[in-house]
Amino acid sequence: MTSNRTRLLAPVLALALVSVHVLPAFAADSPTSAVKATHLVGVSSLKSGASATVSVQNGALQIDGKSGPTTIIKLSSVEDVYTGTEATQGGGKVGQAAKVGAMAAPYDAGAVLTLILWVKVDLLTVLYRGENGDLHSVLLTVTKGKADPLRSQMIAGGAHATERKAQ
């Protein structure tokens, strides 16, 4: 009787643990002037996957990474700004622990556990001209719902962007 109860309660306990610790970290909150982002490519002073803070101020897009100097992109040099949504597997340290727990869960209960670790994020791609007129791009991921307000702030500050077509 005890082993049956343990088999039933283990996946429920793992699910509760993940929902309490992981899901609030990915909840979209109201837009602010500074947005936490993950750098994918485009800023030479940051590694791919590095955390950064992105803000639009003083006529520039500022990307402030913890490991390097702040990158400043003048909004007047921005050629285009693209946004999109992508699904990715998140988690961090808690996610790693949940994945290990998923492997140990009986009766394929771990498959359900790994499914809830998938989250949607926004992609922000900025195309801009450098000082010599050469074309550069920066690709960042931000919390879902944050890319479009950043794009709007950039356009309001003087960035060029192509008009979106309604779908």
pLDDT at 27 over 50: no
**Domains annotated on the chain, with CATH:** 2-156 (2.30.29.30)
pTM across the whole model: 0.66
**pLDDT reported for residue 74:** 96
Residue-averaged pLDDT of the chain? 77
pLDDT at 125 over 90: yes
pLDDT tens, 104-124? 666 666 666 566 677 789 999
**pLDDT reported for residue 28:** 35
* Per-residue confidence band for 13, with pLDDT thresholds at 50, 70 and 90: very low
Q: How many residues does the chain have?
A: 167
**pLDDT reported for residue 86:** 86
